Structure 1
Amino acid sequence: MPPVSAAPSTAPRRRKAEQRAEKMEQILDAAEELFSRHGLHGVTLKDVAQRVGVHHTLMNYYFDDKKTLFDAVLARRAAVTNVQRTRALDDYEAASAGRPTVEGALRAFLDTDLDLYIQGGERWKNYAAVVAQVAAAPEWGADLMEQHFDPVVLRLVEILRKALPDGSEADIFWSYQFVTGALMLTLARTGRIDKLSRGACRSDDFAAVKDRMATFMAAGFLSVCRREGREQT
């Protein structure tokens, strides 16, 4: 009886897949850093290739064009932050036993995200700056924000409606607009507050932001949504 031949080893194939995945991470990290500093239009595929240390033609093996690369950079960490924020919001609503507060909901949404930037180091802060750029891009930013972030934002709004049963839809959404505006300015790390405050505040001090933002924004929500006798527009 002839010997049974061993099944072909999958080790070389696995190593190749691991090498490809590792190279992809290197490309995404490099692109993330460059996009965070120079924006979508200030970076080329060749710039990314040079940062990674590969020939620029290899970039076309992984990505069709620069916009595809940018979208991949955004999607990679969006998946992480959305899972964590959704879980935090669900846990908060369950713990509130039907009586959520505005600040409690905002802390579940904002603090969970800020913790990623505090604990994740410079790479996560680079990603934060990319998100801030997307939010401020009038031509294509809204579509990407909708694609990646609208479900978790609407989950927050759902809880805020319960915390503010007398608040109008318009007031709640305008108040959220102001929250996200402040958050995006924070994520951009422009350095302006450093100069204005003469060093009392730092743009990259996300722990200080976490300590204050939800409390500040909750007061705004309550003030806007509980106004009495306001002029109807």
Structure 2
Amino acid sequence: MSTETKTKRKRQTKAEQRAESIEQILDTAEYLFSKRGFYGVTLKDVAKGVGVHHTLLNYYFADKKALFDAVFDRRAPVSSARRMMALDEYEKDAKGKPTVEGALGVFLDTDFDLYIEGGDEWKNGLALTAQVANSPEWGPEIMGNYFDPVVLRLIEILKKALPDCPEEDIFWGYHFVSGALMLTLARTGRIDRLSDGLCKSDDFEAVRQRMARFMTAGFHAICEERARERG
């Protein structure tokens, strides 16, 4: 260890040391949870990844669930707040004439931007979000606490873009959008194998260029079919 590094550590206050330790723990836990899920990770696994004794984790977090909640709470509010702001700005700019593709583009691009710009930490965080979203045990509660307001904001704008579309079809449309988004965020690698490397799970720019347009066509197809059924 260099003299400079030793001096830097000596200058750290206890609060700074504590904050640094917690950040290392959260980064490691986030990576492990994103790969193995909640039940596939122990506090000892996290401690080993950080390089500390597991009793240190018990000092900061009451149990594994408390650690998991702290990990999720770092990024979910940021993603939700950015989306809400972007949707509000979009509706204002649309001046009463929002489009499905415009609203979906804003909603989806927020997470793609975080993925592309945020590095591995955000990739791990959003992959973890995908796992939580697909957990019937406690996914609805956690996702609801963080994301229901912004999803309902999107639905509100989609209703204005599709005033003649039945409300249930708009909710189903969002359901399909959410499923595709969560699969993308999970980066399973399946499309890599299926396409023999032609498509990459982590090519978020390619997804950004296609998803909103693809889903927009689905919304219009369903709504137009329902309109024909009504005569």
Normalised TM-score (structure 1) = 0.91
Query: What is the alpha-carbon distance in structure 1 between the residues aligned to residue 65 and residue 219 of structure 2?
Result: 36
SS of residue in 2 equivalent to 1:54 = coil
Q: What pairs with 1:59-208 in structure 2 (closer than 5 Å)?
A: 59-208=57-206
Residue 32 of structure 2: aligned partner: 34
AA aligned to 2:215 is M
What's the Cα RMSD here? 1.6
Is 1:16 aligned to 2:19, yes or no? no
Query: What is the alpha-carbon distance in structure 1 between the residues aligned to residue 50 and residue 22 of structure 2?
Result: 10
AA aligned to 1:119 is E
Q: Give the total of aligned pairs.
A: 220
Residue 216 of structure 2: aligned partner: 218
Offset of residue 83 of structure 1: 1.4
CA deviations on 1:164-214 (whole Å, 9 max, x unpaired) are: 111111100000000000000011111110011111100011111111111
In the TM superposition, structure 1's runs of 4+ consecutive aligned residues that sit over 4 Å from their partners are none
Structure 1 unaligned segments of length 5 or more: list them: 1-11
AA aligned to 1:23 is S
Is 1:55 aligned to 2:53, yes or no? yes
Offset of residue 78 of structure 1: 0.7
CA deviations on 1:2-26 (whole Å, 9 max, x unpaired) are: xxxxxxxxxx9x8222221111111
Structure with bigger helix share is: 2
Structure of greater Rg: 1
Structure 2 unaligned segments of length 5 or more: list them: 1-9
SS of residue in 2 equivalent to 1:75 = helix
Query: What is the alpha-carbon distance in structure 2 between the residues aligned to residue 108 and residue 138 of structure 1?
Result: 27
